[in-house]
Structure 1
Amino acid sequence: MPLEFAPADAPAIPLHVIAQDGAEAWAAGQPERIATWVRAAGFTGALGATLLVPGEDGRIEMALAGYGTPQGRARGRFHLAGVAAALPDGDYRLEGLPEERAAEEALGWLLASYAFDRYRDQSAAKARLVAPEGLDAGRLVAIAAGEWLTRDLINTPAADMGPSDLEAACAGLAKEFGAEIDVVRGEALLEKNFPMIHAVGRAAAQEPRLIDMRWGDKGPALTLVGKGVCFDTGGLNLKPGASMGLMKKDMGGAATVLGLARMIMALEVPVKLRVLVPAVENSVSANAFRPGDILTARNGLTVEINNTDAEGRLVLADALSFGAEESPDLMVSMATLTGAARVAVGPDLAPYFTDDGALASALDKAGETVADPVWRLPFHAPYETMIEPGIADLDNAPKGGFGGAITAALFLRRFAGETRYAHFDIYGWSTGNGPARPKGGVGMGARALLDALPGVLSL
């Protein structure tokens, strides 16, 4: 289904949004025929309930959407997306939706029409929405398109989304928006001083690479760095099968920054945008890097490899060092980095780290505003000793198991230099079929960051 709203002048079916405590009062204000139908159907305004009301000619005259209670709505988001999935094909116009929920629900409706259908036909919501008055419909479509891109990239299995395919996706995005792209591949990574990207990816069938995309020539400089591990076997510290099943999503950080970049370019946000994606596959072969190896990163720091399955921070380190050399006004990394982050906040929250209080305040507020929840975790300086092994400057996998998300973030901060910096440790996957969030790849933190940018960068 095309990603679009119905035309504003479409002969749309009224969709009345009714809270649980207002259903009877609403019915009492309707003609007896309609009130009788609603009462006979047992419609109470329960959250997610849907009722079609026929006219005298048997065609749909209106539809009702239950909006529950404030307490029930607080336990989720995009509630009308579930209603959209239950409605028959047609155009609908919202009536009675609180104005402060209009943007969230309109975006959720667009996201409900997403389906990953590359390998088989998939069903998605067919009902189209007339954008509520007062909303920037074009902005919402651009945001949804960025999220669709993120989902498509994550959902595609590694056989069709290896480093070369991820490069092709970046090239396609660059072409669409007139961005420039440069790629360093294979042995050239060593020649141009990206030794850890090369080390992690050299055992794979497809060459490791660093993708560098630039767009915009005015405004503050914004650099986005996304972990592009297209599949993670764990390397010589091989993952068990149960842990390997979802590793096609280990490039979720790259997918998320590319989705965010699409939003920024489509909306013509006045920034000098740079996107860095170290794209590799962490595989096993005779030349795979080993536990106990000591690698020297781009910025000269040495790293002892105590687990080859902690590879994401290694490829990000070289990319962050490269990005920091230009001293951008803001640098943000996104990565499906640690299981510890999932233990701490679960799969639905996007934890982030920053030393910048103003940036944190803006992100927290934006996350609530656009229904993209984020949660700040600390760069806890006393844990720095945990990533210092003695034999080298840094340890990529400190022992003990405590504070794993924090120690990983502290590791990355060593490569961001003095740049204003934030790191997101995301999951990138929806575990169930919630409204507007079907099971599969999903963006996290991108919409919050997009909403925060004007204040953070004084745009």
Structure 2
Amino acid sequence: MQLMTGLEQADLTLTFLSGEAADLPAQVTRNLKPGAVRLLSRGAEGDVAVALPPTDAAEARELGEALVKLATDLGARAVRVEETPHADALTLAALAAGDRDARYRAEARPGPAEFAVEGLSGANRARVEAVAAGVRFARELVNAPANLLNPVTLAREARTLEALGADVDIWDGTEIEARGMGLLAAVAAGSATGPRLIRVTLPARGEVTRVLALVGKGITFDTGGYSIKPAAGMTTMKGDMGGAAAVLGTMRALAAARDLLPEGVEVRAYVPAAENMVGPHAMRPGDIYRAANGKTVEVVNTDAEGRLILADALAVACDEGATELVDVATLTGAKVTALGNDVAALYSTDADLTARLQASAEASGEFVWEMPLHAPYLKAFQKDTLADLRNSDMVPAGGSIKAALFLREFVTRPWAHLDIAGNAMKDGQATGWGVGTLTGYVLGR
């Protein structure tokens, strides 16, 4: 679906209730809820739908999704929206809902082709178009099946960002081992493709004053290793690189909106990529490996692999001069138990960083909830081991908190962790969750 500057003729127009609502049929306006769209009239000049004006970005996102569903049901190809608050969030949600991934179908599914929102122009429009492109990139990465997307092909997709002015470096297994990233190498040892470390850099405008590092978990498929998952738990594991997709999608958006980057800010993405497989060289429970920062980790549970590869990437990002870090990962089932699939868990060592991420998430209509870094829980990963840390205590209670505390052991700068388990996919389709939040965070919105 293409974002248009305007439409002379629309098949479907969305209008909003105002003081003239009394003139509308009661059966249309009665019990109309925020975020819902209702068909008002049909005619030769186009259909008209009505909704309540959104009061926040979350409602606007619901409206965008509901509007595209109605347009698809009606067969509308061109959709227009009257000027409204939170037009950015509504537009992004509509574009995402209308962007149907047809790469693996014999025929594309029908839906709206053109979309326009009155009053959306200038820098706002440019930013919306950039974020929409980033969301699309992230969704396509997550939707790709594991027989097509592995660490090698993920790195190849990241290379496409060079056409937009980004610098892309790829480390293979030899360089990863040379850099001391023993945890990433261990996780990938059971896979024929081996590991990759993908580093994407957007140089600063002017002298560098801050380096923001975005780190995304890139497990392109997770069998659980020798701590193997049950069949039902493995079917969606192509999406275990949702954090990597969010980070790369953000870099795609920022590359397209370079003029909006704050002066002096360099942005780097670090994506440790691996498949967690079973094989003759795969890591085993009880194995001990050394991380990039020198700490040793005993692998108690090979299915707690995401924290291992993130640990190495976080350590490298700090070593290379990052002044602030945000990592994003489909990390723990405990997060889903605590917050469900709509709300991401936010852990942070810095109150200002926390506030900026929360504000950006709210403006994007994406939900985050701050969780505690309860330090005593880390003791469960420090006892009964010959290493500095264990990667699990095999106790689900508090699992998301303990995973975040594990990661904190590998950072030396202000840092935030977003556990997005459950957020990256919905109804079997990628969501692109996180691109809006991370882009807004970098741009200072």
Question: Is TM > 0.5 for Structure 1 vs Structure 2?
Answer: yes
In structure 2, C-alpha distance between the alignment counterparts of 1:184 and 1:236, rounded to whole Å:
26
In structure 1, C-alpha distance between the alignment counterparts of 2:59 and 2:87, rounded to whole Å:
18
Query: What SS does structure 1 have at the residue aligned with 2:117?
Result: coil
Q: Does 1:246 align with 2:246?
A: no
In structure 2, C-alpha distance between the alignment counterparts of 1:244 and 1:13, rounded to whole Å:
42
Query: What SS does structure 2 have at the residue aligned with 1:108?
Result: helix
The one-letter code matched in structure 2 to 1:232 is D
Counterpart selection for 2:410 from 395, 409, 415: 415
Counting only pairs closer than 5 Å after superposition, residues 114-193 of structure 1 correspond to structure 2 as 114-120=99-105, 121-123=107-109, 125-126=111-112, 128-135=114-121, 136-173=124-161, 175-193=162-180
- The match for 1:402 is 397
Q: Structure 1, unaligned stretches of length 5 or more?
A: 28-37, 433-438
Query: What SS does structure 1 have at the residue aligned with 2:136?
Result: helix
Query: What SS does structure 2 have at the residue aligned with 1:214?
Result: strand
In structure 1, C-alpha distance between the alignment counterparts of 2:58 and 2:326, rounded to whole Å:
29
Task: Note if contact 2:134-2:435 (Cα within 8 Å) is conserved in structure 1.
Answer: no
Task: Note if contact 2:347-2:404 (Cα within 8 Å) is conserved in structure 1.
Answer: yes
Task: Note if contact 1:197-1:318 (Cα within 8 Å) is conserved in structure 2.
Answer: yes
Displacement of 1:49 in angstroms is 1.7
- The match for 1:53 is 42
Task: Note if contact 1:185-1:209 (Cα within 8 Å) is conserved in structure 2.
Answer: yes
The one-letter code matched in structure 2 to 1:264 is L
- The match for 1:447 is 436
Percent identity for Structure 1 against Structure 2:
35
Task: Note if contact 1:228-1:277 (Cα within 8 Å) is conserved in structure 2.
Answer: yes
TM norm structure 2? 0.89
Task: Note if contact 2:11-2:76 (Cα within 8 Å) is conserved in structure 1.
Answer: no
Judge which range, 382-391 or 239-248, deviates more. 382-391
Count matched residues. Answer: 426
Query: What SS does structure 2 have at the residue aligned with 1:310?
Result: coil
Q: Deviations over 1:97-139 (max 9, x none)?
A: 5x32322222222222211111103425315232321542121
The one-letter code matched in structure 2 to 1:383 is Y
Task: Note if contact 2:184-2:272 (Cα within 8 Å) is conserved in structure 1.
Answer: yes
Bigger radius of gyration: 1
Aligned Cα root-mean-square deviation (Å): 2.5
Q: Deviations over 1:19-52 (max 9, x none)?
A: 4x9785243xxxxxxxxxx67xx43363222244
Counting only pairs closer than 5 Å after superposition, residues 36-435 of structure 1 correspond to structure 2 as 42-44=27-29, 46=32, 47-54=36-43, 59-67=44-52, 77-87=61-71, 88-95=75-82, 99-120=84-105, 121-123=107-109, 125-126=111-112, 128-135=114-121, 136-173=124-161, 175-218=162-205, 219=208, 220-268=210-258, 269-270=261-262, 271-389=265-383, 390-417=385-412, 419-427=413-421, 428-432=423-427
Task: Note if contact 1:335-1:426 (Cα within 8 Å) is conserved in structure 2.
Answer: yes
Q: Deviations over 1:231-266 (max 9, x none)?
A: 011111111111111100011110110011111111
In structure 2, C-alpha distance between the alignment counterparts of 1:371 and 1:301, rounded to whole Å:
38
In structure 2, C-alpha distance between the alignment counterparts of 1:231 and 1:13, rounded to whole Å:
42
TM norm structure 1? 0.86
Q: Structure 2, unaligned stretches of length 5 or more?
A: none
The one-letter code matched in structure 2 to 1:297 is A
The one-letter code matched in structure 1 to 2:321 is S
Task: Note if contact 1:225-1:319 (Cα within 8 Å) is conserved in structure 2.
Answer: yes
Displacement of 1:74 in angstroms is 7.1
In structure 1, C-alpha distance between the alignment counterparts of 2:361 and 2:103, rounded to whole Å:
31
Judge which range, 227-236 or 6-15, deviates more. 6-15
- The match for 1:17 is 15
CA 1:74 to 1:309, structure 2 compared with 1: closer, same or farther past 3 Å? closer
In structure 2, C-alpha distance between the alignment counterparts of 1:83 and 1:303, rounded to whole Å:
50
